[in-house]
Structures are given as structure tokens and as C-alpha cells.
Amino acid sequence: MSEVRAAAPPRRRATPAPRGHQSKAALVWRYRWIYALILPTVIYFVLFAYLPMIGLQIAFKDFKVFAGMWESPWVGLEHFRTMFGSEKFPELIRNTLLISFYRILFGFPVPIIFALLLNEVRRMWFKRGVQTVTYFPHFLSWVVFAGIVINILGPTGIVNTLLVNTGGDRINFLTNPDSFRAVLVLTGIMKEFGWGAIIYLAALSSIDPELYEAARVDGARKLRQIWHVTLPGLRPVMAVLLVLSLGGLLDAGFDQVFQLQNGAVLEVGDIIDTYVYRAGLLEAQFELATAVGLFKGVVGLAMIVSANWVLRRMGQRSIW
Amino acid sequence: MVTKPETGETEILRSSQVTSQRSRLERNPWWGDTIIYLVLVFLGLVTLLPMLNVLARSLSSSAAISANPLMLVPYSWTLDAYQYIFETPVLMRSFGITVFVTVVGTALNLLFTTTAAYGLSKTYIPGYRFLMWLVIIPMLFGAGLIPTYLLLKNLGLINSVWVLVIYGLVSPFNLILMRNFFWSIPNEIEESARIDGASDLQVLWHIVLPLSKPVLATIGLFYGVAHWNDFFTGLFFITDSSKWPLQVVMRSIIIDQSMLGMGGGTAPTADLQKLVISADNIRAATIIFSTVPILLAYPFLQRYFVKGIILGAVKG
């Protein structure tokens, strides 16, 4: 649910010169303490990241809890047929993709614009003050921030008080299917736009001042300077972030959606991850939930591998 | 690990250290500056005012809240809501659980991540690429919720507080971030210690770690905030509400109580009979209560997180 951008470029250090000719076994023995340092983490990953993959078999089985997954009979693709045949599935895909897509469409430009505006501020105390305030919500959990959202948009919240005071009617934005996706996108932006601007501010400060000087000599005014110097300077960062968010389209923001979701808006707000939790753990439809999760995992893998491929083709540093 | 060298992010890192350097030569016209400042003040207030409102509500009486829902300063001061929180055993116990998990969990996170990152910074060991892929693949593909649940059940970790510590013990992102930091330490420093006869472990403990305090702080804070804010591990893997961490209990108070009147929440609710009297100010006080630790850590967070994000790795 979080994403990683390309790691800082390694400075490949010289391999220690091999003293004479050593067999692989001798090398392994020589570096035994290095392996010992890595071993606990390897065990952790094998146990908690790889071993669960064995459990994926229940997506193809009729899972009997008491017999165990190995003794349960195979049923082939039955659960996948159920999944693709259900009315729920297209709805989940639709909700997931739409919410992700709206997030990118409306949320992607906000940190960029915010960074551009901050970059124009010369009074350092003001800049630092705005940054301090706008970064803060990033560190709150979605449980807490959802509480703040309810405080703003709920029936007795800030917005409804203003509506009533100006002669309007109360609207419960959180239980209204027409407004629920907008609430998700908007509050998601509210929580993260400040934090999202950090990477752009760093990129902005790395633009060579001489480029601005040159543009000015050529007669470019402020807006043309932004268009011809600033935005091209931000392009690499924007490209990486955009491609990565396209690669993660199937992650529609479980943390947030789960907290704000309620029975009244399930048809517009139920995404793959929330469905897997509800069907799997609350309703104990283990096989179907595993099948849906596996579908998401495989498609997600294909998408993130494609995103990485695109980044390489663009000449950007790729994720791996 | 094929990595394209030097495509800008190191440049960013270097020049971000001289942010005060003005990159603009032309001043904005006065009306341009005015618009910029107004927009920024607006964005700042949109973030700040809702939080002030929550703070004010937490300190006001219920009657005052319904009379002035838009308050930014408390009306008819009262600490009733906070007193209520401290007298609610469910909340206090979950607070204790979360403090425990955050402290012990972060310590173990750092221990595992540091040792593995140091080992994996040695690209010359046989099997390096294999080990690196072993760490990266879980970032790209996971088995999903149900298989993980079944495994944890077999390991006897369901309904154990330890699942909150162990699940997510090593984050591949943080591991790679730290490995990259170790790469940036000049080789000669380690080599000279080795010539003096220091073992790998001694080099790590006496040479590398003292040089790594900033990155340890950054990653420790990443892990610490993640533990504090962790909701899903508790929701998924702990069904016994007496062992729930803070965030899960808080959801019952902050959200489910509000959702009850609007078609029902979608998560199990703790048995919080006393909390039925919960009003807007109990919700507000709970929000503030759980945010105080984050607020206390915020100066450090700002300092180190920003460094971490610019170091090139994480957008959480």
C-alpha cells in the first residue's frame, strides 16, 4: 500500500581483490559472518512472504477447514468461473479502477502546483510554516483522519453546519453514493498533497539557475519561464510517479476506503481489497476470496512489471 | 540489480542542501505574489482549521459543541471527554499494547533490517543476486490476505499480540534504503579496520553503525510511525477484542459509532457499551489522545522523514 521509487544509485565498490584462486565453497566460508547477518531476514521472508504462497492452492480447491488444504479436493477453475460470472466482480473492478483513475486525474497535479507556488515564496518563515502544517496529516493514520473527515463532512460536521446556516439542507456526503467517490478523492488529496510536494520541491531546487537567466535574456516572462524551464525540469520526477501510479491502479487505497466505507455506499465504494477482507475473513468464503486476491496479485504484478519496463524505455531509473 | 546510474536523484540530493539559493532572478509582480500567498494561506487553513476544530471540540462540553459546531477555541472548557478516555479500560489496554508493539517492534525491525542491509551491501558475496531477488519479489507479488491468514493460524499467531510485532518485521523498502546508505560509506574506512584485525561484526558495530545514526533515526521513525498507525494487522489477525491495538479500538469509537446511524459499519465492533454515550467530543478527544505521540515526535519526523524521502526511496 506504499510504493517505492527507484533506489538511490549504488556506488559500486570495488570487489576485494581475490587472493589467489578460491573455490566458491571457500568464498562462502570466508564470508560466513556476512551470511549469518542476512540469514534471520531470509528466514523471515521465506516464512512470511513465500510460505503463504503455498496457500494459493485453495483458490483451485474445495477447501475443507478440518481436513486441511492438502487433503482438500481439487476443483479446477470453478472458483474463477464463479468470480467472473458474478455480478459483484465487474462492480469491484469498476470501482477500483474508477477510484484509482480519479485519484490520478485530480490528485496528481495538486502537489506539483503546490510545490510551484511554494517555490515562489521568499519569506522563509512563511514557507516553513505552510510546510509544517501541510505535511502533518501524512503522519496520521486513516482511522484518525477518517474521524477528522467525519468531523468535517458528517451530519453534524463543519460543512453541514455552514450549509444549514446559509439556508441549505443537510447532506450526508459519506452515505450518499453520488458523492462518496468524490469524498474519497478529495480527502485523499487533503491528507497527502503537502507530503507529495516534497519530492517536487527537491527537484525544483536542483534546476540550474542559469537556465532562468538564459530564458530571461531571451525575453521570456515569468509564465513562459515556468513553461520552458521549470516544467521540463520536473518532467523526470513526474514521469516516474505517473507511471508508478498507473502500475498500481488496482490498489485503490485500502486504508482510506475501508475506514470511510459504509453499507449505504458499497455499490460505488467496494473495491477489490475491501471485498477480499469481507468475503474471506468475515464471511469465510476462503476459496473465492483467495481467487479474487490471486487475480489481483497476478494482474498487479503484470502492471508493475510493465511500468518498470516503460520507465527503462524512457531512460529513467527503474525500480529494479 | 541493474540500476541506471546518475539520472538526477543524486543531483537532487546535493542541491537540496542549498535550498536557500534563489533559483529565480525575476521578482513576481505584486498581484502575482498576492495570489500565491492567498492560495497558500488557503491551503494551510484547509489543513489546519479542521484539526483546530477537533481540538476545540475535545475540550468543550457536548452542549457547547452542538451550539457552536464551527468553534476553533473551546467553549465551556471541560476535560470530561479525556477523563472518560482514561477511565475506559478497553482504550487504556489497547494503548498499552500499542506502546509495547511500537517499542519492541521498532527495535526488532531495526535489528533485522540493519544486519541484513549490511550483509547485502556486500555485492561480492556468492549468491548476492539471488538473495537480493528474494527480498524484492515480495514487493511485487504477495500471496494475499487469506493464504497469509491461514499460515499465521498454523503458526499459532492468530490472536497473539506478537503477530503485531512479527508481521512486517522487515520492509524491503527500508532494507534497500539502508543498503544504499551503507554503499555510500567510503570503503577505506572499513578496510582500515579490517587490516587492524576487526571481524565483520566488529566493523558493523564499531565503525558502520556510529556513522549511520541519521539513517537509523529515519528508518526507525518509518517503522515506529507504521507500528503506531497500524490498523490492518490487528483487524485481520486479532479477533479477540481484548488484544486489539489502539487503532482498531479507536475505529470502534471514532467511526463505527458514527456509522451506526448510517447503514452500519463494515468492521466488527468492540463491546463498548459505555461508549454508547459517545458524543462528538469523545470522538474528538480520542483523535487528539492518539495524535499526541505523533505530535511530540513531529519535529524529528519532519527532520528525518524529509531526508529519507529525498534519499530517494519512499512515498508512504
Degrees (nearest 5) of the Cα angle B256, B258, B260? 65
Q: How many CA atoms lie within 13 A of B192 on its CB side?
A: 6
In this predicted structure, the answer to whether residue B20 has a pLDDT above a threshold of 50 is no
Kindly give, in sequence order, each residue whose CB lies less than 8 Å from that of residue B95, ignoring residues fewer than 6 positions away. Answer: B246
The three cell numbers of residue B204 are 558493523
Can you tell me whether residue A250 is helix, strand or coil? coil
What distance in Å separates the CA atoms of residue B261 and residue A137, rounded to the nearest whole number? 27
What is the enclosing helix (H) or strand (E) of B315?
strand B314-315
User: Residue B168 region, left (φ>0) first, then alpha (ψ -120 to 50), else beta?
Assistant: left
**Closest partner CB to A37 (pick from B116, B175, B176):** B116
Contacts of A201 in chain B (CB under 8 A): 16, 19
Tens-digit pLDDT profile for residues A284-309: 999 999 999 999 999 999 999 999 89
DSSP-derived secondary structure letter, B252: I
Which residues of chain A are within 8 Å of residue B123 when distances are taken between CB atoms? 10, 12-13, 15
Q: Which residues of A264-283 are buried (b: 16+ CB within 10 A; e: fewer)?
A: bbbebbbbbbbbbbbbbbee
Cell reading at A173: 456526503
Q: What is the pLDDT of residue A5?
A: 39
Share of chain A above pLDDT 70, in %: 92
Q: List the grid coordinates of A160.
A: 453541514
Q: Given an 8 Å threshold on Cβ–Cβ distance, is A258 in contact with B113?
A: no
At B138-167, the pLDDT tens digits run: 999 999 999 999 999 999 999 999 999 999
Check if B79 contacts A (Cβ < 8 Å): no
The whole-number pLDDT of residue B84 equals 86
Q: In 10 A of CB A311, how many CB atoms?
A: 21
Interface touch B294/A139, C-beta < 8 Å = yes
| Mean pLDDT, rounded, of chain B | 82
Q: Quote the pLDDT of residue A163.
A: 92
Task: List the grid coordinates of B257.
Answer: 459509532
Q: Does the CB of B260 have a partner CB in chain A at under 8 Å?
A: no
SS3 B286: helix
Q: Kindly report the CA angle at A214 between A208 and A215, in degrees rounded to 5?
A: 100
- Of the candidates B1, B187, B204, the beta carbon closest to that of A320 is on B1
CB contact under 8 A, A120 and B33: yes
Phi/psi of residue A294, nearest 5 degrees: -65, -40
Q: Do B262 and A172 touch (CB under 8 A)?
A: yes
Interatomic CA distance for residues A251 and B157, integer angstroms = 27
**Angstrom distance (rounded) from CA A79 to CA A60:** 7
pLDDT digits (tens, 9 = 90+) for A173-210: 999 999 999 999 999 999 999 999 988 998 898 888 89
Q: Residue A169 to residues A166, A262, B53, B66, B67: CA-CA distances in angstroms?
A: 9, 22, 22, 17, 18
Taking the C-alpha atoms of residue A170 and residue A172, their distance in angstroms, rounded to an integer, is: 7
Which domains are present in chain A?
77-313 (1.10.3720.10)
Residue type at position B17? Q
A35 vs B119: CB contact, 8 Å cut-off? Answer: yes
pLDDT for position B31:
84
- Residue A61 pairs in a beta bridge with A74
What are the tens digits of pLDDT across the range A229-255? Answer: 999 989 888 988 998 899 899 999 999
With beta carbons under 8 A apart, name residues in chain A contacting B275.
none
Shortest alpha-carbon distance between residue A11 and chain B (Å): 6
Picking from A136, A139, A175, the nearest residue to B263 by CB comes out as: A175
What's the CA gap between A130 and B57, in Å, rounded? Answer: 24
- Looking at this protein, which amino acid is placed at residue B51? M
Q: DSSP of B28-68, one letter per residue?
A: PPHHHHHHHHHHHHHHHHHHHHHHHHHHHHHTB-HHHHHH-
Residue B313 has pLDDT above 90, yes or no: no
Please check the confidence at residue A96 and state whether its pLDDT lies above 60. Answer: yes
pLDDT of residue B13: 42
User: Do B170 and B116 meet the contact criterion of CB atoms below 8 Å apart?
Assistant: yes
Q: Does B175 touch chain A (CB under 8 A)?
A: yes
pLDDT at A3: 35
The reply to whether B196 touches chain A by the CB within 8 Å rule is no
Is residue B14 pLDDT above 90, yes or no?
Answer: no
- Angle, CA A44 vertex, CA A41 and CA A45 arms, to 5°: 90
Q: Which chain A residue has the Cα nearest residue B138?
A: A49
Residue A33 reports pLDDT greater than 90: yes
Q: Hey, how many other C-beta atoms are within 10 angstroms of the C-beta on A290? A: 29
Q: Do B247 and A141 touch (CB under 8 A)?
A: yes
Q: What is the pLDDT of residue B283?
A: 86
| Phi, psi values for residue B315, rounded to 5° | -125, 105
Task: Give the three-class secondary structure for B133.
Answer: helix
The answer on pLDDT for B47 being more than 70 is yes
- Confidence band, pLDDT 50/70/90 cuts, at residue A21: low
Size of interface A-B (CB pairs under 8 A): 386
Between CA B117 and CA B113 the distance in angstroms is: 6
User: What are chain B's domains?
Assistant: 27-78 (no CATH), 83-310 (1.10.3720.10)
Cβ pair B123:A15 closer than 8 A:
yes
Residue B133 has pLDDT above 80, yes or no: yes
Cβ pair B266:A12 closer than 8 A:
no
Dihedral sign (CA A152, A157, A158, A162): positive
CA gap A256, A269 in Å, rounded: 11
pLDDT at B3: 39
How far apart (Å, rounded) are the C-alpha atoms in residues A217 and B22? 17
Reported for A243-246, long-range contacts at CB under 8 A and 24+ positions apart, including other chains, are A243/A307, A243/A310, A243/A311, A243/A314, A243/A316, A244/A3, A244/A5, A244/A307, A244/A319, A245/A3, A245/A100, A245/A103, A245/A104, A245/A108, A246/A104, A246/A303, A246/A307
Query: What value of ipTM does the predicted structure carry?
Result: 0.87
According to the model, what pLDDT value does residue B257 have?
66
Nine-digit cell at A19? 587472493
Our CA angle for A131, B315, A56, nearest 5°, is: 150
Tell me what pLDDT residue B9 has: 40
- Asked whether residue B55 carries a pLDDT value surpassing 90, the answer given is yes
Rg (CA), chain A: 25
